[in-house]
Structure 1
Amino acid sequence: MTTPEYRLYTSKEGAARIGGGISEHTLDRLAASGQVVATYMGGKLLWTDAQLAAAVDAHARPAKAKAAQPERSADLNPKTRNNIAPLRPEPGRRYSKATR
């Protein structure tokens, strides 16, 4: 009977194996917080392929559904835009003819 061969990776090697999706610091943080199970041998943090896959799964997010844009009132009824009275500036009290 043969023993299975386990390949262990450091955080730096594991991040390179993942392919840039997760940095080595993120792997260290996930292990320290206990969000992902990691292997410690001689006080050194090491990762198996299954543990690296779990780290990627810990960062997986569902796709967000695109929110519907609210409709603008001007788009709903184009006639209302033509019925708006134009703004007309009026002079203030300081410049009115009555005070001169």
Structure 2
Amino acid sequence: MLSDSDIEALEDILFAEPWGDEAVDFFGLHGVVCASVVGPASLSTEDIFRLATGTDETPESEVPETFRTAVEQLARDMAHSLDLGQPLELPEPEDGDPMNALENWCAGFVDTF
């Protein structure tokens, strides 16, 4: 499971220039990764990065290692939970608005799937 500092580091990457205005938040990223795990085709970390940041191009530099490591861990944790028949759970949103977090998760999942 990702720690709060891992989630914060992910959001620092997602909201960075130049894609910050188009990027999803952590809950949207969680939906993107989940769609990759349960969907008909698994996506590469580069594909997930492009979907999460709203960019159509391969990043000029490689996907940040922090992003790669966190996404791979998130995907492993999801696959493991699903293999055990456990439900997937989102962390509590910091702003205390679970409906906004759920809407963002759904948008990431549906757009990816």
- TM-score by length of structure 1 reads 0.27
Q: Which has the higher strand share?
A: 1
TM-score, normalised by the number of residues in structure 2: 0.25
- The structure in which a higher percent of residues are helix is 2
Higher relative contact order (CA 8 A, sep 6+): 2
Q: Of the two, which has the highest radius of gyration?
A: 1
